[in-house]
Amino acid sequence: MVFIYYSQGVSSQYQDFTERLVSHLALRGTEITQQVLKETTAQMHVKHTDEQGHLDIAIDNENVKVMYTVDREHKEISKGIMGAIAGAGIGGVLGNILRKDQSAGDAITGAIGGAAAGGAYQAYQGWDESRNERTEFAAVLAETIKEVEDELQTIIQGHEQEKDAMQEKGRQKLEEESQKAEEFRSMLEDLYGQVLAVQREIEMAGSEGTNVTKAKGRIERAESLYKEAQASFDKKEFGMIKPKVTAAQNIVEMARQALSEAQSGS
């Protein structure tokens, strides 16, 4: 008899699913042997109280599929053996098996006679199938799979929330950087305009015979600082921009003052 279960939406956590399932089953008193664990499949033998069988675990699209195959007990009770039990012993054999007063083997040994009893085999076979229709371990397995699925879904949701939080943080960072970039771009454009304006004034004064050496030296220094600030902007080294812009603006004012002094002859 085969029982098939699907753990929904946890295939991305397959390895963790398998490890947790084995651990939970062991805590519930399940003996697990003959494990063959691979990247996307696993096989193992399980024994729980007097029931045993095989588990096959594999990824199935977004889910994990668990297939439990029951190894039927009392396989040694064949139709031929039951047919050898004397008619007088049939009731005792079935009664003892159903009450579990003794093992099936002991009951049969004490009841073997000479008369055929095919009907007794059919009665026992019906009991065996009925007993395994809803096995104890199948119920334990179903409950354990649901526990593991719930745990993993909580972890997956936590990861999704973390991912969403990181994406939001990244979006905010990009927005802040964009705002800073716009602010510094405006600052650099304003500085460049000031440098060009003073350079033009110096050129005109020089063409009129004014000694503009001092003013020219200062505006060249201001232009050099502007270029350094622009290079920092291009590299997104925003922390280096404002100090250079501020220094350049101060030197532009000093160049204006030097030009004014030269023009006034002082």
Rounded average pLDDT over 130-142 = 74
Same domain, 65 and 48: yes
In this structure, the answer to whether residues 127 and 227 fall within a common structural domain is no
Strand partners, 2: 69
Does residue 168 fall inside a structural domain? Answer: no
One-character DSSP codes across 135-187: -HHHHHHHHHHHHHHHHHHHHHHHHHHHHHHHHHHHHHHHHHHHHHHHHHHHH
Query: Is 247 inside a domain boundary?
Result: yes
The pLDDT of residue 133 is 58
* Token digits of residue 11: 């295939």
**Do both 28 and 148 map to the same domain?**
yes
State yes or no: pLDDT of 136 exceeds 50. yes
Note the pLDDT of residue 195: 95
Burial class (CB in 10 A: 0-12, 13-18, 19+), 207: exposed
Q: Are residues 211 and 154 in the same domain?
A: no
pLDDT number for residue 80: 43
Residues 49 and 104 in one domain: no
- Return the structure tokens found at 149: 């699925």
**Per-residue pLDDT tens for 10-61?**
999 999 999 999 999 999 999 999 999 999 999 999 999 889 999 999 999 9
Handedness of CA 159, 165, 166, 171 (dihedral sign): positive
169 domain-assigned:
no
Q: What percent of the chain has pLDDT over 90?
A: 55
Round to whole Å and give the CA distance between 159 and 97: 52
Lowest mean pLDDT among 16-25, 69-78, 147-156, 253-262: 69-78
Phi and psi torsions of 40, nearest 5°: -125, 5
Task: Identify whether residues 64 and 83 lie together within a single domain.
Answer: no
Report yes or no on 58 lying in a domain.
yes
- Domain around 29: 2-73+135-161
**68 and 84 inside one domain:** no
What is the pLDDT at residue 203? 93
pLDDT of residue 170: 85
Residue type, 50: D
The most confident of the ranges 23-27, 133-137, 155-159 is 23-27
What does the pLDDT read at residue 98?
38
- At 124, the pLDDT band (50, 70, 90 cuts) reads very low
Residue 48, domain CATH: 3.30.310.80
Report the chain's mean pLDDT, rounded to a whole number.
79
Looking at the fold, whether 126 and 143 belong to one and the same domain comes out as no
Residue 107 domain flag: yes
Instruction: Report the pLDDT averaged over residues 133-147.
Output: 87
Q: Predicted confidence band at 108 (pLDDT cuts at 50, 70, 90)?
A: very low
The pLDDT of residue 79:
42
DSSP state of 119: H
* Per-residue pLDDT tens digits for 73-92: 444 444 444 444 333 333 33
Number of domains, the chain: 3
Q: What is the mean pLDDT of residues 210-237?
A: 93
Could you tell me if 201 and 95 lie in one domain? no
Q: Is residue 167 part of a domain?
A: no
Q: 246 and 119 share a domain?
A: no
In a domain, 248, yes or no: yes
- In a shared domain, residues 22 and 10: yes
Smallest CA-to-CA distance from 98 within 124, 120, 74, 79 is with 124
In a domain, 92, yes or no: yes
Q: What is the per-residue pLDDT for 134? A: 62
Residues 118 and 230 grouped into a single domain: no
pLDDT at 92: 36
